[in-house]
Amino acid sequence: MNRAAFCCGEPELDNFFRDYAGDHHEKYLARVTVALYEGELVGYYWLAAQSHASGKLSKEAIGKLQRIEFAPCIYLGMIGIIERLQGNKIGRALMLHAFSKTLEVAKHIGVYALTLEAINEQKAATYKKWGFAPFIEGELLMFIPVATIRTALSEVS
């Protein structure tokens, strides 16, 4: 698989994928998932374990996580689609796959939410449509509770 040619138009995402994704995956720092179309690498995302102070998530989280100081989360590190195929629902397929993997992990260990950091306000608006909410209004660090993911996947199936 040729990562060197990958270009989604966001230098931070391109550089990570080309230079670090393989190493991170190999060392279990993250689990990198790739999308292939007719043998061509067209997209990727990665997941890693993470925790956040419960009080930063939401009033709902504080109620559910009463005695847990840090909420167990899964972090969706980056999601990138090659430029010429953006808008062709590959990103949607990768997001649904990340949702599915999050639920799979949640069957085995405690997970409250999937988190991510949007690269800009435009992407944050897209993630809000998926059900993500900012930790603090106006910031790009966002979360979506596992319960919301479960509902979203049941509606897609």
- Whole-prediction pTM value? 0.87
In a domain, 75, yes or no: yes
152 inside domain: yes
Structural domain for 140, as ranges: 45-156
Is residue 35 one of the residues assigned to a domain?
no
How many domains does the chain divide into? 1
DSSP, res 56: G
CA–CA separation, 150 and 64 (whole Å): 17
Confidence check: pLDDT of 117 > 60: yes
Does the pLDDT value for residue 16 go beyond 60? yes
Residue 12 domain-assigned (yes or no)? no
Q: Let me know if residue 37 belongs to a domain.
A: no
Give pLDDT tens digits for 47-95.
999 887 666 666 665 555 556 667 789 999 999 999 999 999 999 999 9
Residue 70 lies in a domain: yes
CATH number of the domain that residue 138 is part of: 3.40.630.30
Q: Is 61 domain-assigned?
A: yes
